[in-house]
A = this chain, B = another copy of it.
Amino acid sequence: MPKLIYASTKNRDLFYALKIEVSDPVFFLESGGRKYVFLDAREFGIFSEQNENRAMEAVPLEPLLTEISKADGNMEIANKTALHLLKTYCERSEAVSVPEDFPLSMADFLRAKGISLTVQNPFYPERAVKNSDEISLMKEAAKRTMKIFEKIEEILKEAAIEGEYIKYNGEILTSELLKKETAMEMARQELIDSEGIIISSGQHSAIPHHPGTGLIKAGSPIVCDIFPKSKISGYFSDISRTYVKGVPSKEISAMFNAVLRAQEAGIKKVRAGVPAKEIHNACAASLKESGFETSEKGGFMHSAGHGVGLEVHERPTVGPNSKAILETGNIITIEPGLYYPEFGGVRIEDMFLVTETGAICLTEYTRKLVIN
């Protein structure tokens, strides 16, 4: 079935197909074993210069657009262009598959003209299985992300406790200050803060998705979840550590040790052929065994992991309801966590490559709670 995308490379399936970022929407068509990208004059030259894929043909749109007549409403031109391309490059009456986020008005227009469209989701299921090039790129991104944690630890080490506060460079330590330093280190490492930064402490750390704001107190858990996109490759990495500056409560120390053991239990399950939900279940069982129940009051409140690649969350899913079977070449996170409003939160997250026989950690970086 021919495949059609009309999007910028914010659509990561398109980036997967092109390997080149494009900031404005382009038409991408796979038909009859050929790949075509249709680009306007602004993009055609740059794209052709960068394109190394001989199986993909860049086609300038301009000769076509003058036929179609210009108008202000981009979608009107785009719709007519889509119809023209499908009629030119595909067999009559062939159904065309499109991604989930294909523009609805374009779909309505094409269907009204007799084109049959089917949503295909995932559009490129093979994205979940990384080849050796992708694995190298992701190792590189992971290595750079570990530098961020070195920077955070350096700041926490340099900082001094004054009463219940922490002072760094004469300022009282806050989530905002640590996030700014993190963003600067990301830039230095050619990583992009594409999806936000989580550095949360105190009660906020007990809410898994809380981005973190305000004071970071001595003795309070600091959940750092860093998931930048590599400017060089477009691939994400995703690592979490939980730190305490000062003396952790005995609850946080116990939670930290339990989360470490749970991650270990999850890692042990990893191997091609294993249902992904077994990793989640192993983490959950280990936490329970360590005495940490999950209820309305708190506990282990999210999936044990997820695939990572051109998006920070992609296939396979690694939660209790996952239907995925692990395959060699999957890159997944394992990130158990415990969250109790009265104590705070703890999360440890690393990235693993799934192999025939087990898991290779891509983020070998110390897992220590206390930084003094």
Q: Which residues of A pack against B, CB within 8 Å?
A: 10, 21, 23, 41-43, 45-46, 70-73, 75, 98, 100-105, 107-108, 117, 119, 121, 180, 183-184, 186-188, 190, 192-196, 207-211, 231, 301-302, 317, 321-324
Q: List 6 A-B contacts (CB under 8 A).
A: A41-B301, A43-B209, A72-B323, A75-B121, A98-B104, A193-B193
Would you call A71 and B321 a contact (CB within 8 A)? Answer: yes
The 3 closest A-B pairs by CB, nearest first: A183-B187, A105-B119, A184-B187
- Taking CB atoms, residues of chain B closer than 8 Å to A102 are 104
Whether the Cβ atoms of B105 and A103 lie closer than 8 Å is no
**B119 and A104 contact, CB distance less than 8 A:** yes
- Residue pair A104, B105 in contact (C-beta under 8 Å): no
Q: Chain B residues near A231 (CB, 8 Å)? A: 183, 193
Which residues on the B side are within 8 Å of A46 (C-beta)? 207, 209-211
Say yes or no: A195-B23 contact (C-beta < 8 A), given A108-B119, A207-B45, A301-B41.
Answer: yes
Query: How distant is the Cα of A39 from the Cα of B184 in the complex, in angstroms?
Result: 32
**Nearest chain B CB to A4's CB is how many angstroms away?**
12
Residue from the set A42, A98, A104, A194 with the largest chain B CB neighbour count within 10 Å: A104
- The reply to whether A100 and B100 contact each other, CB–CB distance below 8 Å, is no
User: Are B190's CB and A193's CB within 8 A?
Assistant: no
Contact of A180 among B100, B117, B190, B323 (CB under 8 A): B190
Minimum Cβ distance to chain B for residue A95 (Å) = 14
Find the B residue at minimum CB distance from A193. B192
Closest to A46 in B: B210
Give every chain B residue within 8 A of A72 (Cβ-Cβ). Answer: 317, 321-324
Given contacts A45-B210, A46-B211, 6 further A-B contacts (CB under 8 A): A23-B209, A46-B209, A180-B190, A183-B190, A183-B231, A186-B187
| Residue of B with least CB distance to A184 | B187
Which of A46, A72, A322 has the most B CB atoms < 10 Å from its CB?
A72
Q: Give bound CA distance, A137 to B42, whole Å.
A: 31
Q: Is B188 in contact with A23, judged by CB distance below 8 angstroms? A: no
B-side contacts of A103, CB under 8 Å: 100-101
A71 partner residues in chain B, CB cutoff 8 A? 321
A75 touches B100 (CB 8 A): yes
Contact, CB under 8 Å: B42 / A208: yes
Residues of B within 8 A of A302 (CB): 42
Q: Which of B21, B43, B45, B194 contacts A194 (CB 8 A)?
A: B194
Residue of B nearest to A119 (CB): B105
B residues within 8 A CB of A183?
Answer: 187, 190, 192, 231
Neighbouring B residues of A186 by C-beta, 8 Å: 187
- Assess whether B180 is in contact with A187, with CB atoms less than 8 Å apart: yes
Complex: A71 Cα to B323 Cα, angstroms: 9
Closest Cβ of chain B to A196, distance in Å, is 6
B-side contacts of A104, CB under 8 Å: 98, 100-102, 104, 107, 117, 119
Are A42 and B193 in touch, CB under 8 angstroms? no
Chain B minimum-CB-distance residue to A296: B41
Q: Is the CB of B121 within 8 A of A23?
A: no
Instruction: Tell me, in angstroms, the Cα distance from A192 to B228 when the chains sit together.
Output: 12
Instruction: Give the Cβ gap from A77 to chain B, nearest Cβ, in Å.
Output: 10
A117 proximity list for chain B (CB < 8 A): 104
> What's the minimum C-beta distance from A202 to chain B, rounded to whole angstroms?
13
Query: What's the Cα separation between A311 and B105 when bound, in Å?
Result: 21
